Amino acid sequence: MPVFSLDPEQNEWCARLRALAVERLRPIAEKGEPGAVNRPLIAALGELGLLERLFGTGALELCLLRESLAQGCTEAETALALQGLGAYPLVLAGTGGQRARWLPEVRAGRAVAAFALSEPGAGSDAAALALRAVPDGEGWLLTGEKRWISNAPDADFYTVFARTDTGAGNRTGTGNGSSTGTGNGSSTGTGARGVTAFLVPADRPGLTGTSIEMLSPHPIGALAFDAVPVTRDDVLGEVDHGFRVAMGTLNLFRPSVGAFAVGMAQAALDAALEHTAERRAFGGPLSQLQSVAHQIAEMATRTEAARLLVYAAATAYDTGAPDVPRRSAMAKLFATETAQYVVDAAVQLHGARALQRGHPLEHLYREVRAPRIYEGATEVQRTIIARELYRPSRQDRQQGREQDREQDREQDREQGRERAWERGRAR
């Protein structure tokens, strides 16, 4: 992977996005009701053309978009990301009719999308999902529950993952995902089989939902499915292969969760720099205290390292590199952990004022915790990284075993030829 840097046009675009976030989007976000979908904010994202960019972009542009918005308005960043996560399965696997019905509305900010994968018993173990799709004539009836679903219960449609082949649920493998928020990480084992992705409009009979109050006031809720009817026209992709849709979506969005974290870390670092340069204590500005200066240096170094990991992972995705899973997991892991550290350190440098309700760092302190859990928790990312690192060794061992077996077979053939020769001499 070459050394990475942004070109002038990209830097200029990011600066414009940061200005838009502060000047246009933050005032709308501040008028929203905590824990509810802010439809005027989503409409503004559509009017500004940012939702259009969301669906015609690569991973790097998506990361720049999320990082820049996060620096100026985390609510706008989250609203944009959730639209992308909920609607990207249509881009990836939707039929012409499904796309024509919903994507123009999503791009314009008139329809709200949601990605419904997590369940009460299927978070990090994503392959353990239990929402059942029971055959019913030419379609199915969905029965069960989804939980920790972003934009629920206010979304206009949901990408819902349900088990259509109940026999595949008795698996021997393991799943890796997330336990909350906007989705799950990755999954292995036969439990991932037999799952189908459905596009379910919110007005389907039998579908109800409730809001869940969270630490950060995002729109998150639970969905109850009481024999909700779906047909083959509602299927996204292929029946029993819905995890391809889920993982295809999450593989694109996972590095950009790291970008969201980098944006928050940069906002906290900027606040800490300004505060420590101006705040006077012990006869001078805080910045002249070595302990404070060293803390700022550490925060800046970790933030830049996280940013480069995110950009490298996104570039790997865009270029089709073979090591995308490892790079994406590293980026998501390091960036979200770094953001937690940087925001916490910025709060410490500010003192009590940063804990006052309404302070920008108080807001970031509540925002920064969730990304370490959703779309693949920190522990899951470490599992993915280790699995990818050991994969070449496993392949080498498998190749070595094949070579050993071939050598054994050749030796058996040679011994057979020798025995035949000896029998011929005896005659």
Amino acid at 330: M
Amino acid at 401: R
Q: Which residues contact 124 (CB under 8 A, 6 or more apart)?
A: 175, 176, 177, 178, 179, 184, 185, 376, 377, 379, 380
Please state whether 141 falls in left (phi above 0), alpha (psi between -120 and 50) or beta: beta
**Which tokens hold the place of 348?**
């410490």
Residue 247 exposed, middle or buried by CB count within 10 Å (0-12, 13-18, 19+): buried
Q: Are 135 and 163 in contact (CB under 8 A)?
A: no
CA 322 to chain centre: 19
Single out the catalytic residue among 375, 388, 418, 422.
Answer: 375
Check whether the bond before 285 is cis (ω within 30° of 0). no
**Which tokens hold the place of 201?**
């409009």
Q: Are 258 and 310 in contact (CB under 8 A)?
A: yes
Beta strand 220-231 pairing with 284-285: unpaired
User: What distance in Å separates the CA atoms of residue 211 and residue 108, rounded to the nearest whole number?
Assistant: 25
Q: Are 336 and 257 in contact (CB under 8 A)?
A: yes
Active site residue 12: no
Structure letter (DSSP) for residue 141: E
User: What distance in Å separates the CA atoms of residue 49 and residue 44, rounded to the nearest whole number?
Assistant: 9
Catalytic residues: 375
